[in-house]
Amino acid sequence: MRRQLRSRRAPAFPYGSRYRLDDQDEVNQNYLADEEEEAEEEAQMMMASNSEEEKEEEEEEEKEEEEGQGQPTGNAWWHKLQVINEYLWDPERRMSLARTGQSWSLILVIYFFFYASLAAVITLFMYSLFLAISPYMPTFTERVKPPGVMIRPFAHSLNFNFNVSEPDTWQHYVISLNGFLQGYNDSLQEEMNVDCPPGQYFIQDGDEDEDKKACQFKRSFLKNCSGLEDPTFGYSTGQPCILLKMNRIVGFRPELGDPVKVSCKVQRGDENDIRSINYYPESASFDLRYYPYYGKLTHVNYTSPLVAMHFTDVVKNQVVPVQCQLKGKGIINDVINDRFVGRIIFTLNIET
Protein backbone atom coordinates (compact mmCIF):
# COMPACT_ATOMS: atom_id res chain seq x y z
CA MET A 1 0.00 0.00 0.00
CA ARG A 2 2.67 2.39 0.89
CA ARG A 3 4.41 1.40 -2.25
CA GLN A 4 1.59 2.67 -4.37
CA LEU A 5 1.38 5.67 -2.32
CA ARG A 6 4.95 6.40 -2.85
CA SER A 7 4.98 5.87 -6.54
CA ARG A 8 2.26 8.39 -6.75
CA ARG A 9 4.17 10.87 -4.78
CA ALA A 10 7.65 10.39 -6.00
CA PRO A 11 7.26 11.87 -9.46
CA ALA A 12 5.76 14.85 -7.85
CA PHE A 13 9.06 15.42 -6.07
CA PRO A 14 11.58 15.28 -8.85
CA TYR A 15 13.96 17.34 -6.78
CA GLY A 16 13.39 15.16 -3.73
CA SER A 17 16.43 15.71 -1.68
CA ARG A 18 15.63 13.21 0.95
CA TYR A 19 15.92 9.86 -0.64
CA ARG A 20 17.87 7.33 1.22
CA LEU A 21 20.70 5.50 -0.33
CA ASP A 22 18.77 2.31 -0.78
CA ASP A 23 15.94 4.21 -2.30
CA GLN A 24 17.94 4.55 -5.39
CA ASP A 25 16.36 1.79 -7.36
CA GLU A 26 12.99 3.02 -6.63
CA VAL A 27 13.80 6.55 -7.45
CA ASN A 28 15.16 5.48 -10.72
CA GLN A 29 12.21 3.37 -11.50
CA ASN A 30 9.81 6.10 -10.88
CA TYR A 31 11.98 8.13 -12.98
CA LEU A 32 12.20 5.68 -15.81
CA ALA A 33 8.48 5.45 -15.82
CA ASP A 34 8.56 9.08 -16.69
CA GLU A 35 10.55 8.34 -19.85
CA GLU A 36 13.95 9.37 -18.78
CA GLU A 37 17.30 9.22 -20.42
CA GLU A 38 19.21 6.13 -21.16
CA ALA A 39 22.21 7.39 -19.35
CA GLU A 40 20.32 7.09 -16.22
CA GLU A 41 19.53 3.50 -16.82
CA GLU A 42 23.17 2.80 -17.39
CA ALA A 43 24.06 4.54 -14.22
CA GLN A 44 21.56 2.50 -12.40
CA MET A 45 22.95 -0.68 -13.86
CA MET A 46 26.40 0.28 -12.82
CA MET A 47 25.53 1.25 -9.35
CA ALA A 48 23.23 -1.60 -8.63
CA SER A 49 24.84 -4.51 -10.36
CA ASN A 50 22.72 -7.14 -8.83
CA SER A 51 20.28 -9.69 -10.03
CA GLU A 52 16.70 -9.01 -10.83
CA GLU A 53 15.72 -11.27 -8.00
CA GLU A 54 17.47 -9.24 -5.44
CA LYS A 55 16.06 -6.11 -6.80
CA GLU A 56 12.58 -7.35 -6.20
CA GLU A 57 13.43 -8.20 -2.68
CA GLU A 58 14.86 -4.82 -2.11
CA GLU A 59 11.73 -3.33 -3.39
CA GLU A 60 9.80 -5.35 -0.92
CA GLU A 61 11.82 -4.04 1.90
CA GLU A 62 11.46 -0.56 0.62
CA LYS A 63 7.77 -0.94 0.97
CA GLU A 64 8.31 -0.96 4.64
CA GLU A 65 9.94 2.37 4.68
CA GLU A 66 8.17 5.52 5.40
CA GLU A 67 8.88 8.20 2.93
CA GLY A 68 10.61 11.42 3.64
CA GLN A 69 12.29 10.38 6.81
CA GLY A 70 15.54 9.32 5.32
CA GLN A 71 18.61 11.46 5.48
CA PRO A 72 19.85 13.18 2.40
CA THR A 73 22.72 11.28 0.89
CA GLY A 74 25.06 11.46 -2.01
CA ASN A 75 22.47 9.81 -4.11
CA ALA A 76 20.29 12.84 -3.93
CA TRP A 77 23.10 14.79 -5.51
CA TRP A 78 23.40 12.29 -8.29
CA HIS A 79 19.72 12.55 -8.81
CA LYS A 80 19.81 16.30 -8.79
CA LEU A 81 22.61 16.26 -11.29
CA GLN A 82 20.50 14.22 -13.64
CA VAL A 83 17.60 16.54 -13.26
CA ILE A 84 19.83 19.48 -14.03
CA ASN A 85 21.30 17.64 -16.95
CA GLU A 86 17.88 16.99 -18.31
CA TYR A 87 16.93 20.58 -17.75
CA LEU A 88 19.93 21.69 -19.74
CA TRP A 89 19.14 19.44 -22.65
CA ASP A 90 16.12 17.24 -22.97
CA PRO A 91 16.61 15.10 -26.07
CA GLU A 92 13.12 13.65 -25.74
CA ARG A 93 11.36 16.90 -26.40
CA ARG A 94 14.34 18.61 -27.99
CA MET A 95 14.32 21.29 -25.38
CA SER A 96 17.05 23.12 -23.67
CA LEU A 97 16.38 24.95 -20.41
CA ALA A 98 12.77 23.92 -20.77
CA ARG A 99 12.35 25.76 -24.07
CA THR A 100 12.29 24.58 -27.62
CA GLY A 101 14.52 26.01 -30.30
CA GLN A 102 11.67 28.04 -31.68
CA SER A 103 10.90 29.44 -28.29
CA TRP A 104 14.53 30.28 -27.78
CA SER A 105 14.83 32.12 -31.05
CA LEU A 106 11.72 34.13 -30.24
CA ILE A 107 13.20 35.01 -26.87
CA LEU A 108 16.47 36.00 -28.46
CA VAL A 109 14.80 38.20 -31.05
CA ILE A 110 12.64 39.92 -28.49
CA TYR A 111 15.49 40.47 -26.11
CA PHE A 112 17.64 41.72 -28.95
CA PHE A 113 15.10 44.38 -29.74
CA PHE A 114 14.55 45.19 -26.12
CA TYR A 115 18.21 45.64 -25.37
CA ALA A 116 18.82 47.44 -28.65
CA SER A 117 16.20 50.02 -27.82
CA LEU A 118 17.47 50.22 -24.28
CA ALA A 119 20.96 50.84 -25.65
CA ALA A 120 19.56 53.50 -27.97
CA VAL A 121 17.88 55.24 -25.09
CA ILE A 122 20.93 55.18 -22.88
CA THR A 123 23.07 56.39 -25.75
CA LEU A 124 20.69 59.24 -26.25
CA PHE A 125 20.87 60.13 -22.59
CA MET A 126 24.66 59.92 -22.58
CA TYR A 127 24.92 61.96 -25.75
CA SER A 128 22.76 64.72 -24.38
CA LEU A 129 24.84 64.62 -21.23
CA PHE A 130 28.03 65.25 -23.17
CA LEU A 131 26.49 67.97 -25.19
CA ALA A 132 25.82 69.68 -21.92
CA ILE A 133 29.35 69.31 -20.60
CA SER A 134 32.02 71.64 -21.94
CA PRO A 135 35.17 69.89 -23.14
CA TYR A 136 37.26 72.96 -22.27
CA MET A 137 36.32 73.70 -18.75
CA PRO A 138 35.32 71.16 -16.14
CA THR A 139 31.87 71.89 -14.77
CA PHE A 140 33.04 71.63 -11.19
CA THR A 141 36.51 71.75 -9.72
CA GLU A 142 35.78 71.67 -6.03
CA ARG A 143 36.90 68.06 -5.66
CA VAL A 144 40.32 68.67 -7.15
CA LYS A 145 40.90 71.79 -5.08
CA PRO A 146 42.96 72.67 -3.11
CA PRO A 147 45.94 71.60 -5.19
CA GLY A 148 47.93 68.53 -4.35
CA VAL A 149 51.71 68.31 -4.45
CA MET A 150 53.99 65.82 -6.06
CA ILE A 151 57.76 65.47 -6.26
CA ARG A 152 60.19 64.16 -8.80
CA PRO A 153 62.04 61.84 -8.97
CA PHE A 154 59.26 59.49 -8.08
CA ALA A 155 59.12 55.77 -8.50
CA HIS A 156 56.40 54.33 -6.31
CA SER A 157 58.19 55.36 -3.20
CA LEU A 158 58.70 58.48 -1.20
CA ASN A 159 61.72 57.11 0.60
CA PHE A 160 65.01 58.23 -0.88
CA ASN A 161 67.64 55.71 0.14
CA PHE A 162 70.94 55.81 -1.60
CA ASN A 163 74.60 55.43 -1.04
CA VAL A 164 76.69 58.24 -2.40
CA SER A 165 79.57 55.95 -3.21
CA GLU A 166 77.43 53.44 -5.01
CA PRO A 167 76.05 55.09 -8.17
CA ASP A 168 73.75 52.13 -8.75
CA THR A 169 71.65 53.18 -5.78
CA TRP A 170 70.97 56.66 -7.14
CA GLN A 171 71.43 56.37 -10.85
CA HIS A 172 67.72 55.76 -11.42
CA TYR A 173 66.87 59.05 -9.72
CA VAL A 174 69.09 60.84 -12.14
CA ILE A 175 67.60 59.08 -15.12
CA SER A 176 64.12 59.83 -13.89
CA LEU A 177 64.87 63.51 -13.37
CA ASN A 178 66.54 63.81 -16.74
CA GLY A 179 63.58 62.24 -18.39
CA PHE A 180 61.17 64.46 -16.55
CA LEU A 181 63.10 67.63 -17.44
CA GLN A 182 63.22 66.87 -21.18
CA GLY A 183 60.05 68.88 -21.61
CA TYR A 184 61.66 71.83 -19.81
CA ASN A 185 64.71 72.07 -22.07
CA ASP A 186 65.38 75.71 -22.78
CA SER A 187 65.37 75.22 -26.53
CA LEU A 188 62.04 73.51 -26.47
CA GLN A 189 60.50 76.05 -24.16
CA GLU A 190 61.78 78.92 -26.27
CA GLU A 191 60.44 77.34 -29.38
CA MET A 192 56.99 76.42 -28.10
CA ASN A 193 56.14 78.90 -25.42
CA VAL A 194 56.14 82.57 -24.82
CA ASP A 195 58.12 84.51 -22.32
CA CYS A 196 55.47 86.29 -20.37
CA PRO A 197 55.95 88.92 -17.72
CA PRO A 198 56.51 87.58 -14.24
CA GLY A 199 54.50 88.53 -11.18
CA GLN A 200 51.11 88.67 -12.86
CA TYR A 201 48.50 86.29 -14.19
CA PHE A 202 48.84 85.29 -17.77
CA ILE A 203 45.19 85.83 -18.64
CA GLN A 204 44.13 85.05 -22.17
CA ASP A 205 40.65 86.21 -22.99
CA GLY A 206 38.82 84.90 -25.94
CA ASP A 207 36.62 82.00 -26.81
CA GLU A 208 36.78 78.85 -24.79
CA ASP A 209 37.81 76.80 -27.77
CA GLU A 210 40.65 79.10 -28.83
CA ASP A 211 44.13 77.69 -28.38
CA LYS A 212 45.95 79.27 -25.48
CA LYS A 213 49.59 80.20 -25.25
CA ALA A 214 51.78 78.86 -22.46
CA CYS A 215 54.50 80.58 -20.46
CA GLN A 216 58.03 79.33 -20.60
CA PHE A 217 59.47 77.45 -17.68
CA LYS A 218 63.04 76.81 -18.62
CA ARG A 219 65.14 74.05 -17.22
CA SER A 220 67.81 76.59 -16.52
CA PHE A 221 65.60 78.27 -13.97
CA LEU A 222 66.48 75.35 -11.72
CA LYS A 223 70.15 76.30 -11.66
CA ASN A 224 72.10 73.71 -9.70
CA CYS A 225 69.20 71.33 -9.86
CA SER A 226 68.73 71.68 -13.61
CA GLY A 227 71.14 68.86 -14.27
CA LEU A 228 72.90 71.12 -16.67
CA GLU A 229 75.90 71.88 -14.50
CA ASP A 230 75.76 68.81 -12.31
CA PRO A 231 74.40 65.96 -14.41
CA THR A 232 73.93 63.85 -11.24
CA PHE A 233 71.61 66.45 -9.64
CA GLY A 234 73.78 66.41 -6.56
CA TYR A 235 73.21 62.76 -5.82
CA SER A 236 76.87 61.95 -6.35
CA THR A 237 77.80 64.39 -3.63
CA GLY A 238 75.08 63.50 -1.15
CA GLN A 239 73.26 66.77 -1.89
CA PRO A 240 70.17 65.51 -3.74
CA CYS A 241 67.85 67.69 -5.74
CA ILE A 242 64.16 67.04 -5.48
CA LEU A 243 61.68 68.81 -7.72
CA LEU A 244 58.34 69.83 -6.38
CA LYS A 245 55.33 70.26 -8.59
CA MET A 246 51.93 71.62 -7.72
CA ASN A 247 48.97 69.70 -9.26
CA ARG A 248 47.37 71.44 -12.20
CA ILE A 249 43.87 72.71 -11.65
CA VAL A 250 41.90 74.40 -14.37
CA GLY A 251 41.28 78.01 -13.44
CA PHE A 252 43.28 77.93 -10.23
CA ARG A 253 44.81 81.33 -9.36
CA PRO A 254 47.01 81.98 -6.38
CA GLU A 255 46.42 85.25 -4.53
CA LEU A 256 47.60 88.22 -6.54
CA GLY A 257 50.97 89.42 -5.36
CA ASP A 258 51.34 86.48 -3.10
CA PRO A 259 52.63 83.54 -5.09
CA VAL A 260 52.54 80.08 -3.59
CA LYS A 261 55.75 79.41 -1.72
CA VAL A 262 57.41 76.17 -0.85
CA SER A 263 59.12 75.50 2.42
CA CYS A 264 60.59 72.30 3.71
CA LYS A 265 61.59 71.23 7.14
CA VAL A 266 62.21 68.15 9.18
CA GLN A 267 59.00 66.54 10.07
CA ARG A 268 58.93 65.33 13.66
CA GLY A 269 62.58 65.13 14.61
CA ASP A 270 65.62 67.16 15.18
CA GLU A 271 65.31 70.44 13.28
CA ASN A 272 69.03 70.44 12.77
CA ASP A 273 69.08 67.27 10.77
CA ILE A 274 68.66 69.48 7.76
CA ARG A 275 70.97 72.34 8.06
CA SER A 276 70.40 73.99 4.71
CA ILE A 277 68.15 73.79 1.69
CA ASN A 278 68.54 75.82 -1.48
CA TYR A 279 65.41 76.53 -3.47
CA TYR A 280 65.36 77.22 -7.22
CA PRO A 281 64.00 79.51 -8.38
CA GLU A 282 65.33 81.31 -5.41
CA SER A 283 61.97 82.75 -4.54
CA ALA A 284 60.89 79.18 -3.75
CA SER A 285 57.57 80.07 -5.28
CA PHE A 286 55.41 79.37 -8.32
CA ASP A 287 55.28 82.54 -10.34
CA LEU A 288 51.84 84.00 -10.98
CA ARG A 289 52.40 84.02 -14.71
CA TYR A 290 51.84 80.29 -14.88
CA TYR A 291 48.23 80.78 -13.83
CA PRO A 292 45.50 80.28 -14.71
CA TYR A 293 45.58 76.95 -16.47
CA TYR A 294 43.08 76.71 -19.31
CA GLY A 295 42.81 72.95 -19.63
CA LYS A 296 44.47 70.31 -21.71
CA LEU A 297 42.46 70.82 -24.86
CA THR A 298 43.37 74.43 -25.52
CA HIS A 299 46.37 74.98 -23.26
CA VAL A 300 48.34 72.32 -25.07
CA ASN A 301 51.90 73.32 -24.26
CA TYR A 302 51.29 74.36 -20.72
CA THR A 303 54.34 73.63 -18.64
CA SER A 304 53.85 73.07 -14.95
CA PRO A 305 56.12 75.35 -12.93
CA LEU A 306 58.55 73.63 -10.59
CA VAL A 307 60.39 74.41 -7.40
CA ALA A 308 63.62 72.50 -6.91
CA MET A 309 64.85 71.77 -3.40
CA HIS A 310 68.51 71.26 -3.07
CA PHE A 311 69.31 69.50 0.20
CA THR A 312 72.84 70.71 0.51
CA ASP A 313 73.47 69.74 4.11
CA VAL A 314 71.56 66.83 5.50
CA VAL A 315 72.56 64.48 8.26
CA LYS A 316 73.96 61.35 6.70
CA ASN A 317 73.40 57.71 7.50
CA GLN A 318 70.11 58.38 9.12
CA VAL A 319 66.49 58.52 8.05
CA VAL A 320 65.35 62.12 7.93
CA PRO A 321 61.64 62.72 7.44
CA VAL A 322 61.03 65.84 5.41
CA GLN A 323 57.80 67.72 4.97
CA CYS A 324 57.48 70.25 2.19
CA GLN A 325 54.49 72.52 2.38
CA LEU A 326 52.91 75.00 0.06
CA LYS A 327 52.14 78.27 1.64
CA GLY A 328 49.90 80.99 0.40
CA LYS A 329 46.34 82.16 0.31
CA GLY A 330 43.88 79.54 -0.92
CA ILE A 331 46.29 76.78 -0.08
CA ILE A 332 45.42 74.19 2.48
CA ASN A 333 48.20 72.03 3.79
CA ASP A 334 46.79 70.35 6.86
CA VAL A 335 44.07 67.99 5.65
CA ILE A 336 44.39 64.97 7.90
CA ASN A 337 43.15 62.40 5.43
CA ASP A 338 45.01 63.67 2.42
CA ARG A 339 48.73 63.77 2.92
CA PHE A 340 49.34 65.18 -0.54
CA VAL A 341 47.20 68.28 -0.45
CA GLY A 342 49.43 71.32 -0.06
CA ARG A 343 52.22 69.27 1.38
CA ILE A 344 54.28 66.19 0.81
CA ILE A 345 56.23 64.05 3.17
CA PHE A 346 59.23 62.00 2.15
CA THR A 347 62.33 60.63 3.81
CA LEU A 348 65.95 61.04 3.01
CA ASN A 349 68.48 58.47 3.98
CA ILE A 350 71.81 59.33 2.51
CA GLU A 351 74.55 56.89 3.20
CA THR A 352 78.17 57.59 2.69
- Footprint of other proteins on 174-213 (CB under 8 A): none
Q: Least separation, in Å, of the C-beta of 327 and other proteins?
A: 18
Q: Residue 211 or residue 270: which is nearer to other proteins going by CB? A: 211
- Phi first, then psi, for residue 62 (nearest 5°) are -65, -25
Indicate whether 3 belongs to the interface with other proteins (CB under 8 A).
Answer: no
> Where does this chain touch other proteins (CB under 8 A) — which range of 29-37, 75-83, 86-94, 115-123?
115-123
> Where does this chain touch other proteins (CB under 8 A) — which range of 147-155, 184-192, 229-237, 277-285?
147-155
Indicate whether 102 belongs to the interface with other proteins (CB under 8 A).
Answer: no
Q: Where are the beta strands (DSSP E) in 114-199?
A: 149-152, 159-163
> Where does this chain touch other proteins (CB under 8 A) — which range of 74-82, 178-186, 211-219, 294-302?
294-302
> What percentage of the chain's residues is helix, strand, coil (to nearest 5)?
40, 20, 40
Indicate whether 245 belongs to the interface with other proteins (CB under 8 A).
Answer: yes
Alpha-carbon dihedral angle through residues 123, 125, 129, 130, given to the nearest 10 degrees:
20
Indicate whether 84 belongs to the interface with other proteins (CB under 8 A).
Answer: no
Q: Residue 45 or residue 165: which is nearer to other proteins going by CB? A: 45
Of residues 35-64, those binding other proteins (CB under 8 A): 49-51, 53-54, 57-58, 60-61, 64
List 43, 83, 95, 249, residue binding other proteins (CB under 8 A): 249
Indicate whether 302 belongs to the interface with other proteins (CB under 8 A).
Answer: yes
Indicate whether 307 belongs to the interface with other proteins (CB under 8 A).
Answer: no
List 52, 66, 168, 282, residue binding other proteins (CB under 8 A): 66
- The DSSP line for 179-230 is HHHGGG-HHHHHHHSB-PPTTS-----S-TTS----B---GGGGGGGSSSS-
SS3 state of residue 61: helix
Sign for the pseudo-dihedral over CA of 3, 79, 92, 55: negative
Query: What is the rounded CA–CA span in Å between residue 164 and residue 240?
Result: 10
Indicate whether 296 belongs to the interface with other proteins (CB under 8 A).
Answer: yes
Q: Least separation, in Å, of the C-beta of 108 and other proteins?
A: 13
Q: Least separation, in Å, of the C-beta of 292 and other proteins?
A: 12
β-pair partners for 307:
244
Long-range CB pairs of 133-140, under 8 A, 24+ apart, other chains included: 134/208, 135/297, 136/208, 136/209, 136/294, 136/295, 136/297, 136/298, 137/208, 137/250, 137/251, 137/295, 138/250, 138/295
Indicate whether 323 belongs to the interface with other proteins (CB under 8 A).
Answer: no
Q: Residue 228 or residue 249: which is nearer to other proteins going by CB? A: 249
List 52, 74, 131, 143, residue binding other proteins (CB under 8 A): 143
